[in-house]
Amino acid sequence: MFLESHLDRLLDRLRLPDPIPVRLDLWRRRTFDLGPDPSVTIRIPRISALRYLVSPDLMKLGEGYVEGHIEVDGSLADIFDVGERLARTARRTRRMSGLRRGFTQSRRGDKRAVQYHYDVSNDFYRLFLDRNLVYSCAYFRTERDSLDLAQEQKLDHILNKLALRPGERFLDIGCGWGALILRAVERYGATAVGVTLSRNQYDHVRAEIERRGLTGRCEVRLQDYRDIPERAVYDKIASVGMFEHVGLRNLPVYFRTIHRLLRDGGLVLNHGITDPDPERPWMALGAGQFIGRYVFPESELPHVSLVLKEMSAAALDVLDVESLRRHYARTCDFWANRLETNRERAIELADARRYRIWSIYLRGCVHGFKQGWITIYQVLACKSGGPEMNRLPLTRDYIYGG
């Protein structure tokens, strides 16, 4: 067969130019070490599974692992490190260019993608998220902060940046399990609306609003952001971990919608993952393809320069830009460790395949944020309307004193 006849050549190619601490355990009890002291063993149970090692990238290796065609032993941190090194070694032998996509998101497609990712099981997410089910980058004031504390600090960091005041109307686009709107009402005295496309999240937030006695002050809607009907009624808007799903072509629509919803002089904070390099070289390793297929269908990451350009084009005056990349690496490390600790329960709640997807994805995010493959920014902006519209204090002191 073609694959078996080319096995020796394949192994020679994988051994060069640098040793990789991985053992290949092949059918017929054949083993090959690609470096000394292997920390990871990749088990190839049948010859057909060799295709995942022919010019391997993170997409092919991830697919083989997720679908159960190859078996991998070792810590997930070591597994991802070995996977990256295999992909880089293979890339040296071929010429690849970054994958560029250009989805035109539809309401139906967005809803389907959100439901695929979020409507797994609320109990599944409870296994690794904090007590408030905040599924976005936390904010660590010290390296000793717990995940619970850091996520509450993140909520306050956002609401303080927005200078949210009692009686103001606050909108959260993509509200998740509702932690931000609940805190805006209970701690800041605002009235709040959150929108989500996830039925599981919607049901959870509705129950929390009722349980906490916040009906009339806090509302959640199962609604696409483009269908929010109000015009110029919200004093403050936040969008946290949502615009990654918008699509590059839809960024103008997204920011124009925010402009329509804001009062003159109103503030918006966009908190989202971005691509640090306009040329997107990490895409050539296959990571983006894996995420698009298995984790976030039809997701795209803009460069922060495009975010600022489109916000400005929508008459949203950018006031403050902050990178939280190191915070997200730390957040994902908490999530990955907690999910791995709860492996058996996760498989029971979802299934083994879903566990493999999420575990390797979260561990990959730790690696990606640490290496600078991906980053995240909070961008604060004001709806333009004249020189007196921005009434924030002259310095950032107000953000950290609240």
Residues 6+ apart with CB under 8 A from 16: 89
Count of CB atoms within 10 A of residue 85's CB?
A: 18
Spot the catalytic one: 137, 218, 332, 365: 365
Strand-pairing partners, residue 167, are: none
Count of CB atoms within 10 A of residue 226's CB?
A: 14
| Rg of the chain on CA atoms, in Å | 23
Q: Is 365 a catalytic residue?
A: yes
Shortest CA distance to 128 belongs to which of 375, 343, 287, 379?
Answer: 343
The residue behind tokens 């020796």 is 8
Q: Which residues are catalytic?
A: 365
